[in-house]
Structures are given as structure tokens and as C-alpha cells.
Chain A
Amino acid sequence: MNTFLNWLDNRTGIRATVHEALFERIPGGARWRYVWGSTLVFAFSVQVITGLFLWMAYSPSSLTAWESVYFITYDMQFGWLLRGLHHFMAQAMVVLLAIHLMQVIIDGAYKAPREVNFWLGLILMQIVLGLSLTGYLLPWDQKGFWATNVATKLMTLVPVVGTKLQRLVVGGPTYGHHTLTRFFAMHAGVLPGLLIAFLALHIAVFRRHGIKAADPLHKKDAMFWPDQVLKDAVACLGVLLVVLLLTIFVGAELGAPADPSQAYAAARPEWYFLFLFQFLKYFPGETEIWGALIIPGIMFGVLALMPFLAKWKLGHRFNIAYMVIVLCGIGYLTAQAWHEDNRGPKSADYHRAVADAQTRAERVRELIEYGEGISEKGGRALLRSDPKTAGPDLFKRNCAVCHSFDGHDGTGGPQEKATASDLGGFGSRDWLKGFVVEPGGPKYFGPTANGSFNGKPIADTFSNGAMARWAKEHAGKMSSEEIAAVVEFLLSQGDRTDLGPVDADLAAKGREVFELGSLDANAEGAESRACLQCHEMVIDGAPLGTQGLAPGPDLSRYGSEAWLRDFLLNPDAPHNYGDRNAMPSYKDRMTEAEFNILLKWLRRQWLEVKGKK
């Protein structure tokens, strides 16, 4: 071993290099307060290691970025650990950076002859913040996508070249494949390369001047190795433990896949940029450039000028006071942003947006794990085509002008002036029973009284129409079994997969009631009670009733997808409600794909994972 080392040393001078690196004198002895620079180097090393391994599994394009991160997080062995380390170490780095900067300023280590190293440090800080900004986008989830969108939009504020600059960064007019390839090249290539170069300079210049001892007479001088190395290593271990705990107990979040069509009200930048986000709220309209660029620029400028300011008698104190004020300001703005989101008047909206985002993130995971996996259209397409996810919004946009859904607009928002039935639970046993017993009630024809059709009020055309009058006269006379039977019979027409199996015996009885009005052939007035008096139906190709002459809607395959499709496309057809129906045809009102999603959503045809609500 020694022979080999001698041979190597002879040719490389490695011993002297190692000694040079390790045997740096520390006046006043090793101290805990000197550890911060080393913890930053450590944090960066972890980012390089974890980043390179993540790179081996990451695929930067708008159809594969989220998907590959999903695969790393939920499928690859210890992928969650690798991603968590990278995710939280990035945040730790920002914290350590702030501590290191404060330490340098308090100890006066920015003053002559160390000005250049101070500026190198400030450049390194910008690079680290750049890494964090570019890295936030790479998972291509809703959060990163929308937050980064805001950041790049701010670029357009740069005078003269702003819009061109933004387009260059984004790689085109809108976010897409090239935004990711560019951000990834910056994040994994350009910025780390610059960081390594500037870090080498930073350390070289640091070694030239030696450590700025806070108190050189504190203790006997010591060497960097092993006293300070051990302290540094223990501090790094502390950082690593915190990051590990966060990884294990919090975990790196992965939101739903980015979707430009799906607004994300909970978009916030990473917490350490939250103060800037909050700061912008104070700059309305065209003054935004002051909050986004000019004032932060001036503040950073003062920071860069600190070595010169320190020459003034009270300069050093001013600098410390300045840093304290700036940090307090940052702290205040961060707290204010947090407060507005969690306690302010709009906090309910924010919390709903967060909950909604979480629901979507969980749902896409369900769809992948229990559905048919991720097709080449990516994770976004899964949510877009999922009735459970996309249905409410389609209902809100297309139906909620007239209909309500369990009293709301489908998405949970307000529906204050319904003029048609409430479709929450459409086709279910409860819903059908309500329709049979109280068709003029508030969940069915009742709200039509508020509407108008062809310029005339609908008034009680339906709310006290033939069906409502029938119910008033007959429903009370029917036994609960007869009602349950007719409900079961109607249900059997709908091919529903979500409502439990049809009770065939009960449905057969229901058919009897439907045709004859009662289970008891001798019941008084049974004949005028029969549904067939007003409705028609074809069962297994055989018609029941009058065949095209009944005044009420044809109930063949009532509630099935085919029935609903026909009803939505031809609401005014004679076999539906005829030309007195105020409902417009849904032909060409939305794409075929959207129409199919809406049909499925109304009938609750979607992937439901067993054991969950």
C-alpha cells in the first residue's frame, strides 16, 4: 500500500494536496459556528448524487415527465426515498444558505480582503435559487406547472426584451415539451456546472484568506482535520437526519399531472419564494415590475455593496441591521401569505382548491393502479376521460344553468335558481321513489315553475301536471311494496352497475303494477293507476301499452345509457316530453367525448376502488 502511495505521490503530489486540504489552521479552535459552509457543500453533494440517479429514470417531455416521476415515486424500489432526499435537501439548502449568509455578515467575513469571495457566494446563492426554480417544474404536476407559469410570466416585465426572454426560457409560445427539455438542461447541466465552477472558486478564495475567526483567542488553534471535520460531519448528519425524517414522514408530494385546461387555484411557489409571491400583491396593475424586479433588485444590490458600506464607521452595524430587517420582512410576508391562505377571508377557497388538487392526485393514482395503466396519452388523459373527475365540471358548464345536483352545481358550488329537476342520485332507488311519490316536489318538477319557455312562464305545467296529479291521487293508495316494486322495475331498465343487483322478483311485481296499477287485481281504481295509462315501454322487443299514443314519455330502457343519450339529444321528441320540453337538445353542444363522460357521470359509471367510499 505504501509503495503504491509513494508511486502515486511521486507522480501526482497527492499527499501534499490532501494535506493542503485537511490541515488548514483554525485560529481559536474548531467551532460549531463554522459548520454552515460545509453543510452546504454536503447538501450540494447529495443533490448531485441523488440528481444523477433520478436523471437515469426521468424523462423530460410533457407526456412523460409526470409519468416517469410517478413511476419513480410509486413503482421503483426506494424511488420515494431517492426523490424525497432530493426534494427536501433542496429546501434544506435554501435554509442553510440563509444561515451561512447571516453568519458571514455577522462575523464580518464579507469585509476586505474577502469581498470577492462574498460576491462569489452571492452568485452561488442565485444559482441555488435558479436550481430550485427549475427543479420545481420538472415533475410536471399541477403545482409545479402553475407556480412556474407565474414565475416565467413575470419575466415579461423585463423592459424591452421581456417577452422574447420569456419565450426563450419557455421554449415556445406555451408550456410544453421544450419547456421541460430546457428547464431540465438548466437544472441538470448548466446550473450545476456553474455551481461547481463557482464553488471551486469560492473554496479556493476561502482557503487563500483562511477562516474568519469569530474569536481567535477562544481556544488553542486547531486544524481543520480532524476537529473541525468531525463537527462539520456531525452537522451534516443532523441535516441529513432532518431531511430523512421529512422524506419518511412527509414525503415528496406529486400532484395531479399538469393540465393547462384545469385551473389550479392552490398554485403557490415553494415556501421560500412565498414572500415574493405575497410582495407582488402590493403592486397593482402596471406597477408590478416594482415588486417583481426593481425593489428585489435594489435590495440585492445593497447586499452586494455591503463590503463597501462596511468601510463607513457604522457600516457593519448597518449591514447587520439591514439583514435583520430584510429577514424580518421576508418572515412577515411569508407569515402573511400563510395567514391569508389559512385564516383569511379567502382561506376557504384556498383550502377547497388544495383538497380538490389532492383528490385529483389520489384519483389519478387509483386510475393507474386499478385501471388500465398509463396509455401513451399520459396521465393527464386519464383524469380528463375519467367521469368521476371530469363529470362535475361538465355538469356545471352544461346542465347547471337549469338543473341542480344534490342542491349544488355538480362541483359543490352554489345553484341558487334551479328551473329543472335535481339530478343528484339520478336513477337510484331513492331518486326513482321520490319521482313516483312526489313528482311535483322540489327535487323533480317543482323547480320548473320558476322557468319559462318560448317567452312564457312554465308555471305549473309540470309541477301540477299530469304526473303530479296522478301522484296526488294514487301514490298514497299504493302499498309500500307496490311502490318499491315499481321502483325496482324501473331500475331494472337502466343497466346500472353501481346500485347493487336488481331484485328480479320485486321487479316482476313492479311490472305488474306498471301494467295493471296494483298487485291486487281487484283493487279499487287500479286500472286508472297503471303507469301504462300514460307511458309506454318496449321490453325485449315486445311493446307494452298503446305504442306511440301515450301522452307521457316512453320509458323503454329508462335510465340506461342509450335512453339518456336519446333523451339528451332529442328532449323534444314525441317519445320524450314532446315540444313542451324546455330542455334544449345537447346535440353539438359539446364534443362526443365530453358527452360520453357526462352520460357516464350521471349514471355513476366509473372506476370505483373497493373498500373505499
Chain B
Amino acid sequence: MEHDKKPDSGPVQDFLNAEEPRRDFFTQAAAVVTGAALGVVPLFAGLAVFTDPLRKRERKSEGGADADGFLKVAPLDGLLKGGEPRRYEVIDDRTDAWNLFPREAVGAVYLVRPVDGLVKAFNVKCPHAGCSVDFKAENACFQCPCHDSSFKPNDGLIANPNSPSPRGLDELEVKEVDGMVWVKYQEFQPGTSHKVPEA
């Protein structure tokens, strides 16, 4: 036998006419709770995987870094004392999700060798929005191609006060060992007036 629909009694009407409407609060509550529990499990698993990038990961390989995290960047004699800044790639092992790419360019730095003292290293990324800055020899300054921030070549500080960058170029720790320049390569959050290292 089949259930025949009566045209004059819609389901809502049926419900309102029922003898014991909402008679079983427990049933309703149990249905809602069970239904919610059903959704929680797949959503939990999905969101856990989705938020995996927020997890801090251990480095799987040391790459070329020494114990203090410095990477060998360039020979000292490739830089003239008092010369123009020169751009060097920073080579390290690069992890991309499941892949490990040994000894690849992971970033770049400008090295400047003053007449006296240690070489200075600047991260090439503009602290304003992260564009890669150029060194313009004709203006004798670093210039960001995106929003025209400019930085002084010797100390990386802001050259033109109208620059949108909130701070000078990010200077990196440097050491000179056996005629080689080693740099502790780091990225910093853009848009802040102080250097905040990125995790």
C-alpha cells in the first residue's frame, strides 16, 4: 500500500493537527545532537589538515648552514672596498611540502664592502611590500620598482623621506671566515617599523 497525498493537508498542516505536537523534546534534541556529531568528525579532519601550514616544522636538513645558521654567500675578494653593492643569491636546501631540493637559491642579498670594517648584507626584499629592490647606480641608491621607496647604499636606511617603506632595508648578520662572506639569511615581516623575523 502506498501513502496517498491529500491535497488539502500539507505536511505542515499534518504536523499542526497532530495530537501530540513536539511531544518528544528528547527525540528532537537527540536528533540535533547526533546530526551535529556526524558533521564534526569529517570537518575536524578536514580543518586539521587545512591548518597544517600553521604548524611549525622542524628543518629536515641543515643545508649549507653552519651551527649558527650562517650561509656561505660570496668570496670577500669579489667585493671592492668602497665599491657598489652587489647582489648575490643565497644557496640553501629548500623544502617544498614533500620535496627537498638540495642547494637551491632560496633568496638574495646585497653585499656592500665599506672602506673599513665588516661587509654589510641587506635582504633584497623591500620592507614595505616585499618587492625585490634594484640598485640604481645612476642615483647611487637602492630603488624599489613597486612603490618607489629608496634606500641608501651604505647603510640601507631610507634615502627619500617620502618613501612608503616603514623602515630601511633589513640588514642581516654577517661574518667573514677564511676570505668568505657568510650571512645569516632571514626574512622579516613587511609593513612594520621594526624588524620582526618571520617564523
Task: Assess whether A237 is interfacial by the CB under 8 Å rule.
Answer: yes
Task: Assess whether B37 is interfacial by the CB under 8 Å rule.
Answer: yes
Contact of B60 among A67, A234, A373 (CB under 8 A): A373
Q: In the complex, A449→B32 CA distance in Å?
A: 83
Q: In the complex, A330→B47 CA distance in Å?
A: 39
Contact of A52 among B27, B46, B100 (CB under 8 A): B46
Q: Is the CB–CB distance between B100 and A49 below 8 Å?
A: no
Chain B residues, Cβ within 8 Å of A78:
44-45, 48-49
Task: Assess whether A68 is interfacial by the CB under 8 Å rule.
Answer: yes
Q: Which of B96-115 contact A (CB under 8 A)?
A: 97-102
Q: Is the CB–CB distance between B49 and A77 below 8 Å?
A: yes
Q: Is the CB–CB distance between B49 and A226 below 8 Å?
A: no
Q: A75-B98, A373-B99 are in contact. Are A50 and B11 (CB under 8 A)?
A: no
Q: How far is the CB of A17 from chain B (nearest CB, A)?
A: 11
Q: Is the CB–CB distance between B27 and A230 below 8 Å?
A: yes
Chain A residues, Cβ within 8 Å of B77:
none
Task: Assess whether B52 is interfacial by the CB under 8 Å rule.
Answer: yes
Chain A residues, Cβ within 8 Å of B49:
53-54, 56-57, 72, 76-79, 82
Q: Is the CB–CB distance between B11 and A23 below 8 Å?
A: yes
Chain A residues, Cβ within 8 Å of B43:
49
Q: Is the CB–CB distance between A23 and B14 below 8 Å?
A: yes
Chain B residues, Cβ within 8 Å of A375:
99-102
Q: How far is the CB of B35 from chain A (nearest CB, A)?
A: 5
Q: Is the CB–CB distance between B46 and A233 below 8 Å?
A: no
By secondary structure, the A interface counts as helix
Task: Assess whether B42 is interfacial by the CB under 8 Å rule.
Answer: yes
Q: Is the CB–CB distance between A16 and B42 below 8 Å?
A: no
Q: Is the CB–CB distance between B5 and A376 below 8 Å?
A: no
Task: Assess whether A24 is interfacial by the CB under 8 Å rule.
Answer: yes
Chain B residues, Cβ within 8 Å of A24:
11
Task: Assess whether B1 is interfacial by the CB under 8 Å rule.
Answer: yes
Q: How far is the CB of A307 from chain B (nearest CB, A)?
A: 15
Chain A residues, Cβ within 8 Å of B34:
230, 233-234, 236-237
Q: A82-B46, A213-B2 are in contact. Are A25 and B30 (CB under 8 A)?
A: no
Q: Is the CB–CB distance between B3 and A213 below 8 Å?
A: yes
Contact code string A47-81 (vs B, CB < 8 Å = 1, else 0): 00110111011000000100110111001111101
Chain B residues, Cβ within 8 Å of A50:
42, 45-46
Q: In the complex, A45→B41 CA distance in Å?
A: 12
Contact of A376 among B27, B30, B99 (CB under 8 A): B99
What residue of chain A has the Cβ atom nearest to residue B38's Cβ?
Answer: A236
Contact of B97 among A27, A52, A68, A77 (CB under 8 A): A68
Q: In the complex, A56→B50 CA distance in Å?
A: 7
Q: Is the CB–CB distance between A226 and B35 below 8 Å?
A: no
Task: Assess whether A20 is interfacial by the CB under 8 Å rule.
Answer: yes
Contact of B99 among A23, A72, A374 (CB under 8 A): A374
Contact code string B1-29 (vs A, CB < 8 Å = 1, else 0): 11101000001101100100000100110
Task: Assess whether B196 is interfacial by the CB under 8 Å rule.
Answer: no
Chain A residues, Cβ within 8 Å of B180:
none
Q: In the complex, A227→B147 CA distance in Å?
A: 64
Chain A residues, Cβ within 8 Å of B3:
25-27, 210-211, 213, 216
Q: How far is the CB of B63 from chain A (nearest CB, A)?
A: 12
Chain B residues, Cβ within 8 Å of A19:
11-12, 15
Chain B residues, Cβ within 8 Å of A484:
none
Q: In the complex, A504→B188 CA distance in Å?
A: 54
Q: In the complex, A235→B43 CA distance in Å?
A: 19
Task: Assess whether A225 is interfacial by the CB under 8 Å rule.
Answer: yes
What residue of chain A has the Cβ atom nearest to residue B1's Cβ?
Answer: A216
Interface contacts (Cβ under 8 Å), in number, total 133
Q: Is the CB–CB distance between A372 and B61 below 8 Å?
A: yes
Q: In the complex, A236→B31 CA distance in Å?
A: 11
Task: Assess whether A188 is interfacial by the CB under 8 Å rule.
Answer: no
Task: Assess whether A323 is interfacial by the CB under 8 Å rule.
Answer: no
Chain B residues, Cβ within 8 Å of A45:
42
Q: Which of A1-55 contact B (CB under 8 A)?
A: 16, 19-20, 23-27, 42, 45-46, 49-50, 52-54
Task: Assess whether A244 is interfacial by the CB under 8 Å rule.
Answer: yes
Task: Assess whether A613 is interfacial by the CB under 8 Å rule.
Answer: no
What residue of chain B has the Cβ atom nearest to residue A216's Cβ?
Answer: B1
Q: Is the CB–CB distance between B35 and A240 below 8 Å?
A: no
Chain B residues, Cβ within 8 Å of A402:
none
Contact code string A202-237 (vs B, CB < 8 Å = 1, else 0): 000000011111001000000101110110011011
Contact of A20 among B11, B18, B97, B102 (CB under 8 A): B11
Q: Which of B33-72 contact A (CB under 8 A)?
A: 34-35, 37-39, 41-52, 55, 60-61
Task: Assess whether B160 is interfacial by the CB under 8 Å rule.
Answer: no
Q: How far is the CB of B33 from chain A (nearest CB, A)?
A: 9
Contact of A53 among B12, B18, B45, B55 (CB under 8 A): B45
Q: Is the CB–CB distance between B27 and A226 below 8 Å?
A: yes
Q: Is the CB–CB distance between A81 and B48 below 8 Å?
A: yes
Task: Assess whether A85 is interfacial by the CB under 8 Å rule.
Answer: yes
Q: Is the CB–CB distance between A229 and B42 below 8 Å?
A: no
What residue of chain A has the Cβ atom nearest to residue B14's Cβ?
Answer: A25
Task: Assess whether B95 is interfacial by the CB under 8 Å rule.
Answer: yes
Chain A residues, Cβ within 8 Å of B61:
372-373
Chain B residues, Cβ within 8 Å of A240:
38, 41
Contact of B45 among A27, A71, A82 (CB under 8 A): A82
Chain B residues, Cβ within 8 Å of A230:
27, 30-31, 34
Chain A residues, Cβ within 8 Å of B14:
23, 25, 223
Contact code string A365-400 (vs B, CB < 8 Å = 1, else 0): 000000011111000000000000000000000000
Contact of B18 among A46, A223, A244 (CB under 8 A): A223
Q: Is the CB–CB distance between A223 and B46 below 8 Å?
A: no
Q: In the complex, A232→B30 CA distance in Å?
A: 11
What residue of chain A has the Cβ atom nearest to residue B22's Cβ?
Answer: A226
Q: A23-B15, A79-B52, A81-B48 are in contact. Are A244 and B41 (CB under 8 A)?
A: yes
What residue of chain A has the Cβ atom nearest to residue B99's Cβ?
Answer: A374
A-B contact pairs, 14 of them (CB 8 A): A23-B11, A23-B15, A49-B46, A78-B45, A209-B2, A212-B2, A213-B1, A225-B31, A226-B31, A372-B61, A372-B100, A373-B60, A373-B100, A374-B100
18 A-B pairs besides A16-B12, A53-B46 with CB distance below 8 A are A19-B11, A20-B11, A23-B11, A27-B3, A49-B39, A53-B45, A56-B49, A64-B98, A77-B51, A210-B2, A212-B2, A213-B2, A225-B31, A230-B30, A236-B38, A375-B99, A375-B102, A376-B99
| Residues of chain A whose beta carbon lies under 8 Å from any beta carbon of chain B | 16, 19-20, 23-27, 42, 45-46, 49-50, 52-54, 56-57, 64, 67-68, 70-72, 75-79, 81-82, 85, 209-213, 216, 223, 225-227, 229-230, 233-234, 236-237, 240, 244, 372-376
| Residues of chain B whose beta carbon lies under 8 Å from any beta carbon of chain A | 1-3, 5, 11-12, 14-15, 18, 24, 27-28, 30-31, 34-35, 37-39, 41-52, 55, 60-61, 95, 97-102
* Across the A-B interface, the 4 shortest Cβ-Cβ residue pairs: A373-B100, A53-B46, A78-B48, A23-B11
